[in-house]
Amino acid sequence: MKRILLGLFIFGLTTQAYAQVTELPEIKIVAVNYKYLDAAGEEDVAEPVKLLQREAATFNLKNSEYYQDDYDTYFISFFIPQGKILASYDRDGKLLRTAEKFKDIALPKAVSTAVAKRFPGWSVSKDVYLVSYHEAKGASKTYKLLLENGDKRMRIKTDEKGNFL
């Protein structure tokens, strides 16, 4: 009797093992806005900037409440306390251009070392990071800094590599 129950138990387990084989259809993943992330993103940029840029790049226009077949261009705004992005998409969800502004974020190492080297004794009291992306032209990145040294104030501009403009 024990052998029969043990045999049925093992037989029941082996039939379930074969039932788990399934074939799934192939899924093709395409990054629509990878050019934007390549042009606008950089490794040394602050985390809030990366977060909002990824949000703009992965935004699914066709599944949003704003999508209608009537329009060719859509303007979508993304906000966080440190900054904002105004993005322009075509009807297929491709990112065409952006205007980005971030305030008081951590400066990249290249910018902070260039400022410290050229203006010793000065400290950065405010900063604004501006990014302008266009599909054909790429991205232009500018840092506007307010430097202070006691009572003195000075405004300067640099690019993302620390070159003064």
Q: What's the mean pLDDT in 49-56?
A: 88
- Of the CA atoms within 13 Å of residue 97, those in its CB half-sphere come to 7
Share in percent of the chain as helix, strand, coil (round to 5) = 30, 35, 35
73-131 residue pLDDT tens? 889 999 999 999 999 998 888 899 999 999 999 999 999 999 999 999 999 999 999 99
* CA torsion through residues 74, 139, 59, 93, sign: positive
Structure tokens at 12: 């029941």
pLDDT category of residue 12 using cuts at 50, 70 and 90: low
C-alpha 77 chain-centroid distance: 14
Give dist(CA 23, CA 20) in Å, integer. Answer: 10
C-alpha 117 chain-centroid distance: 30
pTM (predicted TM-score): 0.76
